[in-house]
Structure 1
Amino acid sequence: KQIHSSMRILKYILLLLLLLSVAFVVFVATQQSYYKVIRSKEIKISKDIVYNLVSDSTSLIDWNPWEKDEAVFKNVKLVSGDTILQKISLSGEKNESFMRFQKTKKGTLISWELKGNLDFELKLLSILQGGIENVLGDKLEDGLNNIDNYLVKELNTYNIKVHGIVKKHATNYIQQIDTCSFADFQKVSKKMLQNMIAFVEKNDIAIIGSPFITHQTWDKKAKTTIFSMCVPVEEEILTTSGSEISGGHFDDFLAVKTTLTGDYSHNIEAWNKTINYINKKKLIKDTEGLNIEVYKISLPKERKPSKWVTEIYIPVKKRVYIPKPKPTEVQEVVGTSETSTKNTTK
């Protein structure tokens, strides 16, 4: 009888636990699904740089607060330099993300708003962690902190070294020409580089060095540049007329070389230091030569900008030394003219 009574009590306990579990599941499931969470953070980096990082889908890995398989981001609408609208899938549920960028005295204020409907898992986490603000709100804060840490640390770590005059050796290459604004250069050149890599792989073309850029124009007033994305190849390539990709070649030339280690945003400073060196040494720029930037270390192999290495080559003319003429020798001639003084013997 005692055993039977104990079994009955155990059954009641299990039934009670089952009922409580069902009640808890029902309680969780009936919680409000719709939510909206907002977080903001000021980052001491210029607005354009912050916006370019966040709007570039290939940079998502550098600041995404969710694990790779937890969330899927898709850019829906981009308002240049101002707003990014995204669709974010969390556990199968679609959510809307708004990121707004506002210029401040110290840098940029990012406001990140996330809204949508909670699935059962997020409702459960919300209850266990004291509200959705503590679940998704913390995620937004993590993402903003990731952006801050990435940009401030990575962009402020750089070094510029001017090496002086070197010989840039003759090179065959293939190129794609485009025009863009200074602000869009990184994004446009990155896509072009991917296009070039795909072209050489498709056509079994051997690459013999690092990709590089040649600037044909650099308009400071309009803030635009016409440039070629180039990949060095072993043999000179001939392409059909009208093709996006064309072949090119340059011969050996002298250039002042500078190495920038760090993010490409310091490129203008590196160029200015190179030009200052040329002026200081009283060198003459070769205006008919190619201004070249070689991406020795860059995306996609290296994600950290502080470790990127860019080499700059500005062509200069050979010095021509003209020997100074020797001073004219003035010879004193002692003549025997009538005015000469002679000794006579009396």
Structure 2
Amino acid sequence: MRILKYILLLVLLFFIGLSVFVSTQKANYDISRSKVIKTQKATVYNYVNDFKNWETFSSWIVDDKGTQLNYSNRTIGKNSFITWDGTDSDGKVTTLSFKQNDSISQKMISNGEEASITWKFKDTVGGTKVTLISLGKLDFKSKILAFFNGGIKSTVEDVYAKTLENLDKTLDFELNTFNIKVNAIVNRPGGFYLKQSITCKEKSVAKNLKIMIPKMELFFKKNNIVSTGKPFVIYNKYDKTNDIIGLSVCIPVRDSLRFSPGSDIEWANMLPFTAVKTTLTGDRSHTQKAWAKTFDFINKQKLVRNPSQQVIEIYRKGVEDEKQPSKWVTEIYVPVLPKVVPRKPTYSKPKDSTSVAKPATPLEETVNP
């Protein structure tokens, strides 16, 4: 019994000493971790800036498969946010400010503790140098856990080191794994749709689509409008010489709808048309390659572009359906004039043994899809 009392006393003294030691340690931390990501700066910045992508690289989300995520309606830019509720942690990250392709400033609250996060992006040999800086303060419980895991700095650094490692792997594989297939010449059916149109520079197309598509989907939800298909984009104007891109973000509907004058949402009707269909499986950053392959097919087949119709992109599978960009599906339709083929001359059966039918006039018909 005396030995047991001594052991209990030693254990008690150990915890008292540990508590005193931990309480005297600095709770504030200032962490900075960097890694060279083998991807161009604009791509890395845009990927990090969209909270929809965080579950693919944020270590505290990746490591907890049961984490429930929620997002702001707009997931990029100032005041956008992500919240999570997992087995080991819960919290929220909000974007406070940003400088395009340069830096992002955010506030994180994790298990009740607040910290500031700054992302910095810099061109370097081999890709982009991404630096993740965090300033924060741990409570007593977190200081205890940090003590048994190598200290405050080591604990927080490990989280951010894993995050940057995940980001590198994700961007290297997910964004660079893609497949382009020119399917066939098809007859694309028409239909009603709602659209919102803008004009912008080519470099702003991807950014604007990330804003406009969720905005359009939210409009449908708020107004109880039923869609009949996936979102798509019509490229009304593509002037590379003057860097002017006119586009409409669209969602198909079953019936005609009317809106008050001045609304930026319009109803329209698409007529059926013939087009070359190409399917891109992978991240949408490869759409220009898919366009190029489509135009090459058109030239080789000696097809003629239809000037009365515009190119459209249908987003069959995106971030809402599949978190891995390598599995996204985009269909591209480039309108062409119907290809015609002459029908072989046919002869009717003679009415009697003394008369012979004349050859029928050759007919033209549209090639079936």
TM-score by shorter chain over 0.5: yes
- Give me the whole-angstrom Cα distance separating, in 2, the residues matched to 1:187 and 1:121: 41
Q: Which residue of 2 aligns with 1:313?
A: 333
Deviation at 1:281, TM superposition (A): 1.5
Amino acid aligned to 2:18: F
1:98 equivalent among 105, 108, 118: 118
User: Residue 87 in 1 paired to residue 107 in 2?
Assistant: yes
Tell whether the 8 Å contact from 1:292 to 1:314 is kept in structure 2 after alignment.
yes
8 Å contact kept, 2:234–2:313:
yes
Q: In the alignment, which of 125, 140, 145 is matched to residue 160 of structure 2?
A: 140
2:309 matches 1:289: yes
Structure 1 residue aligned with 2:57: 63
CA distance in structure 2 between the aligned counterparts of 1:148 and 1:237, rounded to whole angstroms: 46
Q: Paired residue for 2:294?
A: 274
Q: Report the aligned-residue RMSD.
A: 2.2
Give the corresponding residue for 2:267.
Answer: 247
Paired positions, count: 317
- Alpha-carbon separation, structure 1, partners of 2:218 and 2:138: 41
Quote how far apart the aligned CAs of 1:320 are. 5.9
Match of 1:190 in 2: 210
Amino acid at match of 1:18: L
Moved more, 125-134 or 138-147: 125-134
- Identity level (%): 39
Letter in 2 for 1:140: Y
CA deviation digits over 1:222-249, x for unaligned, max 9?
5452211111111122222111211011
The separation in 2 between residues aligned to 1:84 and 1:202, in whole angstroms, is 31
CA shift in 2, pair 1:236/1:178, >3 Å: same
Alignment partners' CA distance in 2, 1:174 and 1:99? 37
| Unaligned ranges ≥5, structure 2 | 62-83, 344-369
Aligned to 1:335: none
- d(CA) in 2 for partners of 1:54, 1:146: 12
194, 212, 220: which is aligned to 2:232? 212
Q: What one-letter code is carried by the residue in structure 2 that aligns with 1:127? A: F
> Is residue 48–residue 183 contact of structure 1 (8 Å, CA) maintained in 2?
no
List per-residue Cα deviations over 1:297-346 (Å, max 9, x = no partner). Answer: 112121111111111111111346799xxxxxxxxxxxxxxxxxxxxxxx
What corresponds to 1:154 in structure 2?
A: 174
Relative to structure 1, is the Cα distance of residues 235 and 108 closer, same or farther in structure 2, using a 3 angstrom cutoff? Answer: same
Tell me if the contact between 2:52 and 2:319 (Cα under 8 Å) persists in the aligned partners: no
Amino acid at match of 1:235: D
**CA–CA distance in 2 between the matches of 1:76 and 1:276?**
45
> Is the 1:259–1:312 contact (alpha carbons within 8 Å) kept by the matching residues of 2?
yes
The CA distance in 2 between the partners of 1:182 and 1:275, in whole Å, is 19
TM-score (normalizing by structure 2): 0.80
Matched, 1:303 2:305: no
C-alpha contact 1:173 1:237 (8 A) present in aligned 2: no
Structure number with larger C-alpha Rg = 1
1:24 is aligned to 18
Give the superposition deviation at 1:286. 1.2
Counterpart secondary structure, 1:272: helix
Match of 1:51 among 42, 45, 56: 45
CA contact (8 A) 1:56 1:187 kept: no
Q: Tell me, which stretches of 5 or more residues in structure 1 are unaligned? A: 1-5, 324-346
Is 1:111 matched up with 2:105? no
**Does the 8 Å contact 1:91/1:119 carry over to 2?**
no
Distance 1:78 1:308, change over 3 A: same
Tell me the TM-score normalized by structure 1: 0.85
